[in-house]
Amino acid sequence: MVFSDLFFLFVFLPAFLLCYLIATWVDQKCLSDEATHSNRAKNLILVCFSLIFYAWGEPVYVFLMLFCVFVNYLVGLGIDRSEQYRKAILVIGLILNIAIIGTFKYLGFFAQCLCDMGIEVAKPNIALPIGISFYTFQSISYLIDVYRRESPVQRRFPDLLLYISMFPQLIAGPIVRYGTVADEIHHRRVNAADFSDGLYRFLIGLGKKVILANQLSEISDQFLVNGLNSLTMAGAWIGIVAFTLQIYFDFSGYSDMAIGLGRCMGFHFNENFRHPYCCNSITDFWRRWHISLGSFFRDYVYIPLGGNRHHQAVNILVVWFLTGMWHGASWNFIIWGVYFGLIVMLEKYTLLKVHDRIPAVFLHIYSMLLVIAGWGIFYFDNFDQMIVFFQAFFGNVTSFYDFVDESALLDNFWLWVIALFFCLPVRTTVGEWTDRLLGDSPLRTMVIYTSRIILSVGILILSTALLVGATNNAFIYTRF
């Protein structure tokens, strides 16, 4: 089940919100006293619906997730209660988590590598559980934060299960640190403003996914899948730019929907995107893209390895090798990670030292050209197809431009314009203009809420119309 699904939008989500509302009443009237505010009923509903949400597509692997949570629950308690062996317990917990993700995500890849080297081994045919990369990394961050005493240990298994299985961010992130939501598991309240902001953010994400990403995917598939063997240079650029926009609106749309749903329930997840295509270096790009993954590797890999203090270049390459591996068990992801690792490392010693002396427009063009080329590596897990694409991308083809390319541009003119426009910080700019023009007057509130209602209703109607009969609706990052 995915958020941009008619069943989720019109059956699962309304049913959840109704049950959650009833649970809120139960907490307030039956389970709370004057001194405390209970969330027990709401938490129970959230856990139940989260398990249903995950089991809907993969009923077997819900037991794997439950096993992972139980293991990490016991390891967390062991770290908290033991002073002498807490480091050893942490290491055991990390090994178990890495073993789980390694078995289901990388065992087949390593077996294939051995076969390619002439060492015949059996290749296991193991399906990849949805979201395993996200909930495993959340489990790892929980154990390390408990070990560092940066977060309290969770003594109730259902509450740790709530943290890891929470359906808004379960299958495609963002990677939520336990410390971010630890207090809100037991102490959260939702007012009308929270619910309104959360619902609006959810619908903005829905629009990004259905109205923009899904339509852009048809253009990228037209050139990079169906038309790869007859690709022109212009077609290669059109296809990969469409994918560049598609993956941004797809993943940032999911993050918006996750953050919005969390807000509706009283959780405040950290931002995961900050207009990455407005970057002025590759280093800047990765500070803006998938922020939760970047901060995970920074805090749990880069800094422990020595960070900027010792062997900085090696540390950067290790982090980016692991970043590529995290995205998938395929050589193209490893190459993609090393590609960006080398650029980030070189920028540390070159570009960033003279960054302020270079015109911003040249920095932006430089950054986007490298980002677009990087998405070309990311897209193709078949090296023969990748070679065909990059030959066309760099002009090593007989035809530069044809009628198909022209049609893709002109027939989708407004899609291109709107997609490029919404890569900019539109909401921030509009908010600043509104504050300047209207200040804190009652008119400002009326204008904001009226425009939000109109935009939200429009997005919901148009998205529903586009989803009827849609065949290409999966989120890209559910593969990871």
Angle at 326 between CA 322 and CA 329, to 5 degrees: 105
Please state, in angstroms and rounded to a whole number, the distance separating the CA atoms of residues 19 and 42: 8
Phi, psi of 426 (to 5 degrees): -65, -50
Q: Which residue in the list 275, 290, 311, 327 is annotated as catalytic? A: 327
Contact 169, 134 (CB under 8 A): yes
SS (H, E, C) the chain: CCCCCHHHHHHHHHHHHHHHHHHHHHHHHHHCCCCCCCCHHHHHHHHHHHHHHHHHHCCCHHHHHHHHHHHHHHHHHHHHHCCCCHHHHHHHHHHHHHHHHHHHHHHHHHHHHHHHCCCCCCCCCCCCCCCHHHHHHHHHHHHHHHHCCCCCCCCCHHHHHHHHHCHHHCCCCCCCCHHHHHHHHHCCCCCHHHHHHHHHHHHHHHHHHHHHHHHHHHHHHHHHHHCHHHCCHHHHHHHHHHHHHHHHHHHHHHHHHHHHHHHHCCCCCCCCCCCHHHCCCHHHHHHHCCHHHHHHHHHHHHHHHCCCCCCHHHHHHHHHHHHHHHHCCCHHHHHHHHHHHHHHHHHHHCHHHCHHHCCHHHHHHHHHHHHHHHHHHHHCCCHHHHHHHHHHHCCCCCCCCCHHHHHHHHCCHHHHHHHHHCCCCHHHHHHHHHHHHHCCCHHHHHHHHHHHHHHHHHHHHHHHHHHCCCCCCCCHHHHC
| Residue 432 burial (10 A CB sphere; 0-12, 13-18, 19+) | exposed
310 in catalytic set: no
Please state, in angstroms and rounded to a whole number, the distance separating the CA atoms of residues 231 and 227: 6
Residue 443 tokens read as 């008119």
Please state, in angstroms and rounded to a whole number, the distance separating the CA atoms of residues 213 and 194: 27
Amino acid letter, 251: F
Catalytic residues: 327
